[in-house]
Amino acid sequence: GAVVSQHPSWVICKSGTSVKIECRSLDFQATTMFWYRQFPKQSLMLMATSNEGSKATYEQGVEKDKFLINHASLTLSTLTVTSAHPEDSSFYICSARSSGHAHYNEQFFGPGTRLTVL
């Protein structure tokens, strides 16, 4: 199957700093990428949908100025958490969609990035 990577796998930062998380599709072109957030013992919550070359679409309640998403190429999307605070500590998971695979499994998930804000 298709492979999606994330970097870093974990990061610890101080409150007020910004953190960038990269999501790459390694062996396919991702026309659309999705960013999810998952708090402990909770399910995945969609944050935003990112289409290559255009602005991301954010879910209700997600601050677009705080969570900056860039999808500049068909294999890379980045999520920048600006002015991070402890409440932003979470598990961030990206997912990529390819139009080139069988219809049943067109959304592939990365391994996740654990962010801890001190």
Partner 1 sequence: DAKTTQPPSMDCAEGRAANLPCNHSTISGNEYVYWYRQIHSQGPQYIIHGLKNNETNEMASLIITEDRKSSTLILPHATLRDTAVYYCIVRVAFMDTGRRALTFGSGTRLQVQP
Q: Which residues lie near partner 1 (CB under 8 A)?
A: 1, 4, 31-32, 34, 36, 43-44, 46, 49, 51, 91, 93, 95, 97, 103-112, 114
CB of 60 to partner 1, least distance (A): 13
Distance, in Å, from the CA atom of 93 to the CA atom of 10, rounded to the nearest integer, reads 11
**Residue number, 17 or 72, with CB nearest to partner 1:** 72
Distance, in Å, from the CA atom of 88 to the CA atom of 77, rounded to the nearest integer, reads 19
CB of 102 to partner 1, least distance (A): 9
Beta bridge partners of 96: 33, 108
**Residue number, 10 or 17, with CB nearest to partner 1:** 10
CB of 109 to partner 1, least distance (A): 4
SS3 at position 97: strand
> Quick one: DSSP state of residue 91?
E
| Residue 44 buriedness (CB in 10 A; 0-12 / 13-18 / 19+) | middle
CB of 9 to partner 1, least distance (A): 9
